[in-house]
C-alpha cells in the first residue's frame, strides 16, 4: 500500500515557468511533510517542510501548499531554473518518530 502518492512522475518546464508537484497521503496521523531534492548520484537534501497547522510555507522560490481536509500537499517552484533540474521527493512522517514515508519521486527537467 502506497501511503504517499506523488505525481507527476516526470515534469518538463521551461526556464522561468512554475513547476508544480503534487502529493496525497492517507494516514491522518502524519504531521510532518518534508520535501527533498536529489541530484543524480547524491543523497536527498531537505528542501522545505511543513506541519499541518499552516496551509502554506514559502522559502525563496519554493512554496508548499497544504490542504489538510483533502490530505494533499504540493510543491511549487516559481521562476524555475535549469539548476532546479533534479528529482523531488515528497514525504510524510508522524508520531514523533519522524521516519519519512517517501513518495515515488518526480524527475524535473527545466529547459533553458
Partner 1 sequence: GAVVSQHPSRVICKSGTSVKIECRSLDFQATTMFWYRQFPKKSLMLMATSNEGSKATYEQGVEKDKFLINHASLTLSTLTVTSAHPEDSSFYICSARDNGGGGNTIYFGEGSWLTVV
Residue from 33, 44, 66, 110 binding partner 1 (CB under 8 A): 44
Tell me the C-alpha to C-alpha distance, in Å, between residue 48 and each of 28, 91, 112.
Answer: 20, 11, 24
Contact 15, 85 (CB under 8 A): no
Contact 84, 108 (CB under 8 A): yes
Buried/exposed code over 76-94 (b: 16+ C-beta within 10 A; e: otherwise): bbeebeeebbbbbbbbbbb
Q: How far is the CB of 53 from partner 1 (least distance, A)?
A: 14
Candidates 14-22, 37-45, 52-60, 74-82 — which segment interacts with partner 1 by CB under 8 A? 37-45
Q: How far is the CB of 41 from partner 1 (least distance, A)?
A: 7
Q: Which is nearer to partner 1, 62 or 102 (CB)?
A: 102
Applying CB under 8 A, the residues found at the interface with partner 1 are 32, 34, 36, 41-46, 49, 89, 93, 96, 98-100, 102-105, 107
Amino acid at each position: 500500500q502506497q501511503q504517499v502518492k506523488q505525481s507527476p512522475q516526470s515534469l518538463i518546464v521551461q526556464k522561468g515557468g512554475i513547476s508544480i508537484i503534487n502529493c496525497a497521503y492517507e494516514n491522518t496521523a502524519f504531521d510532518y511533510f518534508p520535501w527533498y531534492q536529489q541530484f543524480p548520484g547524491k543523497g536527498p537534501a531537505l528542501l522545505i517542510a511543513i506541519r499541518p497547522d499552516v496551509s502554506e510555507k514559502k522559502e525563496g522560490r519554493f512554496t508548499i501548499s497544504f490542504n489538510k481536509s483533502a490530505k494533499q500537499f504540493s510543491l511549487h517552484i516559481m521562476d524555475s531554473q535549469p539548476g532546479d533540474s533534479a528529482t523531488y521527493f515528497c514525504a510524510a512522517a508522524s508520531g514523533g518518530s519522524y521516519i519519512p514515508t517517501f513518495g515515488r519521486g518526480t524527475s524535473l527537467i527545466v529547459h533553458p
